[in-house]
Structure 1
């Protein structure tokens, strides 16, 4: 662990302190580490490196053939899909989490295709590194 000094304008320091408070970081150092890590993950995704992520979908399972459509798309990208979990939220809605690993552009392509399926109420891709 190395220590170093950082100079920040008053407004930026205030924003950092708000971030620490809002996200319950124990200190400024932890918040800065989080921001650097988050930036690095985004750079990995921009550079089309091998990355990992989790796609969350909420959909109406009463929509005709939606489960078959979602499964069919995932099978076309089977090399990216590590696992998936299907949860019944209520009588009409299901939540599916899909854990992915592969080239960033392919994962984004798969996520966009799944989110665009008619009947998907919400979809979000959480990006991470391997």
Structure 2
């Protein structure tokens, strides 16, 4: 292990301490190691072409003209990435979908960007994790 000194402003330190308390970390070092792993994974998985699994979560207005058809067509065009989808009706107009993806991180991000940019999609987020390894040393 290496010892590293990092200077954080008060606001960032307060946010870090809140995460530590909420998630039950034993100390700041554990929390910072986990956050570093997450940051490294997010910045490198797209660049190195590694296989990942992911969850694409988004909400959309199903009453928007042609949106459900466009979304379905996009999924058919990317069938090699999509493994399963859960669809939830939030209210009369809003739907939530969660799709499990499997493939190269860059391809999943490209697909997610396409879905999220459709008119009527209100919120979207893609979370990816490496398909192998546990991420802990």
- Give the TM-score normalised by the residue count of structure 1: 0.83
Equivalent-residue separation in structure 1 for 2:35 and 2:91 (angstroms)? 36
Unpaired runs of 5+ residues, structure 2, are 132-137
Listed as ranges, the matches of 1:1-130 within 5 Å are 4=1, 6-9=3-6, 11-12=7-8, 17-23=13-19, 24-25=22-23, 26=25, 27-42=27-42, 43-130=44-131
Greater mean deviation of Cα atoms: 62-71 or 18-27: 18-27
Equivalent-residue separation in structure 2 for 1:67 and 1:14 (angstroms)? 46
Q: What is the CA RMSD across the aligned residues, in angstroms?
A: 2.2
Unpaired runs of 5+ residues, structure 1, are none
Q: Measured at CA, do residues 8 and 14 of structure 1 come closer, stay the same or move farther in structure 2, by a change above 3 Å?
A: farther
- Give the TM-score normalised by the residue count of structure 2: 0.79
- Spell out, residue by residue over 1:75-110, the C-alpha distance to the aligned partner (whole angstroms, 9 max, x if none): 111110011111011111001111111012211111
